[in-house]
A and B are shown apart, each in its own frame.
Chain A
Amino acid sequence: KAGVTQTPRYLIKTRGQQVTLSCSPISGHRSVSWYQQTPGQGLQFLFEYFSETQRNKGNFPGRFSGRQFSNSRSEMNVSTLELGDSALYLCASSFSGRGADTQYFGPGTRLTVL
């Protein structure tokens, strides 16, 4: 099976712009979670989607949003970018999203905000 894929791998944006990141889960996985990784804050949970519904959300401002399509692919959007949004954004997929299911991570999208 192909692993979790994320596109693009690298992005450079300027403050105030918006950005959309994409994640394709492992075939058969219906849950997609997003995490932000920064040197200062570490790995933080953004949100999780299952069957096109946001099921869980972390403590991030409303500028961070996402969606999931019927084929389980997910996108996350960040509007009005700030310098502090520079990070590695990881998505992870699992079969059901429940604790018993291991989450498999993609390679990440490195976002740089100038």
Chain B
Amino acid sequence: AQTVTQSQPEMSVQEAETVTLSCTYDTSESNYYLFWYKQPPSRQMILVIRQEAYKQQNATENRFSVNFQKAAKSFSLKISDSQLGDTAMYFCAFISTGTASKLTFGTGTRLQVTL
């Protein structure tokens, strides 16, 4: 079974600063995908970024980028130039190509962006 661990329950960052959210996972699979989802307060979950495990290049999406270390089973999210609208719960998630549609989520990191 796969597990996803997010060791930072809460984080705070000032507007315009950079913050990194940590995620580690455990799996015996070789083909899988990793995701970061954002869930703003009382709003729906949206995809922030995704990474294919077979790709060595780290994914980037505007101000969001990941540091994917496959050997270490680490998948951290970096948010640059933080904005107030980035305030949300961030979930790291894993899906194996062999387990249709079953996302395994971490416990989440609550990020607060302050002025």
Contacts and interface: CB of A to CB of B under 8 A. Distances in A.
Contacts of A33: 101-103
Nearest to A44: B105
Interface string A45-83: 100101000011010000000000000000000000000
Contacts of A50: 100-101
Contact of B100 (A42, A55, A102): A55
Contacts of A99: 31-33, 95-100
Contacts of A42: 105-108
A43 B90 CA distance: 12
Contacts, number: 64
B44 A48 contact: no
Contacts of B101: 31, 33, 48, 50, 55-56, 92, 94, 97-98, 103
Given A42-B107, A55-B101, A105 B96 contact: no
A48 B43 CA distance: 23
- Residue of B37, B91, B101 with most partner-chain A CB within 10 A: B101
Contacts of A31: 100-101
Given A45-B104, A98-B101, 17 more contacts: A31-B101, A42-B105, A42-B108, A43-B105, A45-B102, A45-B103, A50-B100, A56-B102, A92-B103, A99-B33, A99-B96, A99-B98, A99-B100, A103-B47, A103-B101, A105-B46, A107-B44
